Structure 1
Amino acid sequence: MHVTRLSDLPASNFSRELIGDDHGGVDLSIIFVDAAPGRGPSRHRHDYAEVLIVQQGEATVTAGDETQVVRAGEIAIVPAGVWHGFTNTGEGALKQIDIHLNSHFATEWEGD
């Protein structure tokens, strides 16, 4: 068993990240999002699927040509290879768990 504290995970602008390779070689990585209104990543894609679990607030998620508001208690699944991104379009914090089905993050950012 491997146990770590959320507060010990590397932090970015609005999240903390668990990289599977760094935690026992698990075949997934997780982003724990805590984003203020208006925040979110720009369009990007991965060669694996990503699962977005909204726990609090709402996110406007764009995946390919589709845009949808995803609220607390809802789950969005983005297939591998699809350009996607999200923005906190709610009035309060967006708390979301993003599961990457890969042992490390492999992200291609639009425009790179």
Structure 2
Amino acid sequence: MDFHVLDRADGREDGADWTQNYSEIPANPGISLIFESTTKAGLGPRLHLHPYPETFIIRRGGATFTVGKDDIDAHAGQILVVPAETPHKFVTHEGGYEAVHIHSSPRFETTWLE
């Protein structure tokens, strides 16, 4: 059986303070991933969009997302799906944020709007 295991680039074996991007993943699953974990508030990307949907699986903490013209306070246990071509950004809450961001493309394609 063929399978692939991807380890953290920094060699750590935990999920703390982890930001790492994975594109062109072995075995070509058709997605790219961002793993993000921080204990800090006020962090996040500036406004941008993708030509494909992006799914956020929030595992710990939360963030205020701007999706289009709406602000959404998202928290652990929620899944947020941002449609293709929709401007979005987020800012982490007090206590931080941990999530997996799934890009519905094997490569990141981002248009920065600010």
TM range (shorter): 0.7 to 0.9
Consecutive unaligned residues of structure 1, counting only runs of 5 or more, are: none
Out of 100, 106, 109, the residue aligned to residue 109 of structure 2 is 106
Which secondary structure state, in structure 2, belongs to the residue aligned with residue 57 of structure 1?
A: strand
Please give the alpha-carbon distance, in whole angstroms, between the structure 1 residues aligned to 2:109 and 2:54.
11
Consecutive unaligned residues of structure 2, counting only runs of 5 or more, are: 11-17
Question: Which residue does the alignment assign to 2:62?
Answer: 58
Out of 26, 31, 56, the residue aligned to residue 29 of structure 2 is 26
Which secondary structure state, in structure 1, belongs to the residue aligned with residue 95 of structure 2?
A: coil
Please give the alpha-carbon distance, in whole angstroms, between the structure 1 residues aligned to 2:30 and 2:98.
23
Shift of 1:26: 2.2
Shift of 1:3: 1.0
Mapping of 1:1-112 within 5 angstroms?
1-5=3-7, 7-8=8-9, 15-19=19-23, 21-35=24-38, 36-89=40-93, 91-111=94-114
Q: Give the structure with the larger helix fraction.
A: 1
Cα shift readout 1:60-110 (whole Å, capped 9, x = no counterpart)? 011101111000000111000000011102x21210110000001000000
Aligned-partner residue type, residue 55 of structure 2: V
Please give the alpha-carbon distance, in whole angstroms, between the structure 2 residues aligned to 1:100 and 1:22.
12
| C-alpha RMSD over aligned residues | 1.7
TM-score (norm 2): 0.85
Aligned-partner residue type, residue 6 of structure 2: T
Please give the alpha-carbon distance, in whole angstroms, between the structure 1 residues aligned to 2:36 and 2:29.
20
Please give the alpha-carbon distance, in whole angstroms, between the structure 2 residues aligned to 1:92 and 1:23.
34
